[in-house]
Amino acid sequence: MAQTGRPTQLFRNMSAKIAAIPMVLTALVVFVGATLWTVYHSFTKSKLLPNSKLVGLDQYERLWSQNRWLISIENLAIYGICSMIFSLVIGFLLAAMLDQKIRFENTFRSIFLYPFALSFIVTGLVWQWILNPEFGIQKIIRSLGFEEFVFDPLYNPDIVIYGVLIAGLWQGTGLIMCLMLAGLRGIDEDIWKAARVDGIPMWKTYVFIIIPMMRAVFITTLVIIASGIVKVYDLVVAQTSGGPGIASEVPAKYVYDYMFKNQNLGQGFAASTMMLLSVLVIVIPWAYLEFKGERSRG
């Protein structure tokens, strides 16, 4: 608070600069500095401690020859693609239903969105319990007379990632619905009137008029989903701990385990750099589009 007394006429904007110091430090030290540090050290042979001796692409070669890493990538791809498709489709359908001028809209919205307030740990643990074959869905169906019914996604290595997906979708679709609903509300009422006058059926209006108009919302939503997917960690830790075996491992867990449990920092750095790369592949084209749009608008 010592800055209050400074003559602002002389030190023009001094207070603003002081106020921005945390931002400058965060941007330069953490976001730029730490990222570059990690990328640099992914080319070294750091083991228990960071080591600055460069060894080229050794860490990456080892990374891509690890079965566990390949499974992690495969899981992330399956989880990512399914989660993008399903959360967009479900989110949009829910939003479209809520946009029909229905009663109790707030109640329904609150119900669809509340899982988003819960942590991935809570989400993972609840679904671990519901999907428990001894007491959960499998038991209920069996007790209805289907003795041979099998539904144990968390114990079957082939489908375990879909078990995680069910929980992830439950937690996250509410957010997508909210974004889509905001997009739908942003569309001019006159468009609907014009479509109705022309006698275009509702679903056609959605598919051919409304959705193309909401392109920007869809793209932004996709970027949000995608950058969230790369970070998936807590959900897997809580729901399956990466199991059975290594069947539901994900890259973020690989990074954590190699850095803090296996004391093999170099592998962790290389794996996290790969994660960064995959985010850049998504974010850069998006930023380019956004930036171009802003320039033509302004």
Partner 1 sequence: MADTSATNSETTTMVGPRGRKPKRALSPRNIMLYGTLIVIAMYYLLPLYVMVVTSLKGMPEIRLGNVFSPPVEITFEPWVKAWSEACTGLNCDGLSRGFWNSVRIMVPSVAISILIASVNGYALANWRFKGANIFFTILIFGAFIPYQVMIYPIVIILREMGLYTKLGGLVIVHTVFGMPILTLLFRNYFSSVPEELFKAARVDGAGFWGIYFRIMLPMSLPIFVVAIILQVTGIWNDFLFGVIYTKPENYPMTVQLNNIVNSVQGVKEYNVNMAATLLTGLVPLFVYFVSGKLFVRGIAAGAVKG
* Contacts to partner 1 from residues 220-259, by CB under 8 A: 220-221, 224, 227, 230-231, 233-234, 237-238, 241, 251-252, 255-256, 259
How far is Cα of residue 112 from the mean position of the Cα atoms in its chain? 18
> Does residue 77 interact with partner 1 by CB under 8 A?
no
> Does residue 13 interact with partner 1 by CB under 8 A?
yes
Instruction: Compare residues 164 and 238 and give the one whose CB is closer to partner 1.
Output: 238
> Does residue 85 interact with partner 1 by CB under 8 A?
no
Instruction: Compare residues 156 and 264 and give the one whose CB is closer to partner 1.
Output: 264
Which residues, listed in sequence order, are joined to residue 54 by a DSSP beta bridge?
44
To the nearest whole angstrom, how small is the minimum distance from the Cβ of residue 229 to partner 1?
Answer: 10
Instruction: Compare residues 85 and 110 and give the one whose CB is closer to partner 1.
Output: 110
**Phi and psi (nearest 5°) for 110?**
-60, -40
> Does residue 121 interact with partner 1 by CB under 8 A?
yes
Binding pattern to partner 1, positions 186-215, x when CB under 8 A?
------------------------------
To the nearest whole angstrom, how small is the minimum distance from the Cβ of residue 113 to partner 1?
Answer: 7
> Does residue 15 interact with partner 1 by CB under 8 A?
yes
> Does residue 270 interact with partner 1 by CB under 8 A?
no
For 94, the token pair is 């829910």
Instruction: Compare residues 210 and 252 and give the one whose CB is closer to partner 1.
Output: 252
> Does residue 296 interact with partner 1 by CB under 8 A?
no
3 state DSSP class of 152: coil
Are 68 and 254 contacting, i.e. CB atoms less than 8 angstroms apart? yes
To the nearest whole angstrom, how small is the minimum distance from the Cβ of residue 93 to partner 1?
Answer: 9
Q: Which residues contact 125 (CB under 8 A, 6 or more apart)?
A: 238, 239
Among positions 139, 151, 205, 262, the unique one binding partner 1 when judged by CB under 8 A: 139
Q: Which of residues 32-71 bind partner 1 (CB under 8 A)?
A: 32-35, 37-39, 50
Distance CA 23, CA 95 (A): 36
Distance CA 53, CA 174 (A): 47
Asked if omega into 244 is within 30° of 0 (cis), the reply is yes
Distance CA 267, CA 57 (A): 11
> Does residue 89 interact with partner 1 by CB under 8 A?
no
Question: Dihedral of the CA atoms 80, 86, 88, 92 (nearest 10)?
Answer: -170
Length, in residues, of the chain: 298
Which residues, listed in sequence order, are joined to residue 44 by a DSSP beta bridge?
54
Report how many residues bind partner 1 under the rule CB under 8 A.
98
User: Could you tell me which stretch among 63-71, 80-88, 155-163, 217-225 binds partner 1 (CB under 8 A)?
Assistant: 217-225
Question: Dihedral of the CA atoms 279, 281, 285, 288 (nearest 10)?
Answer: 60
Q: Which of residues 155-174 bind partner 1 (CB under 8 A)?
A: 170, 174
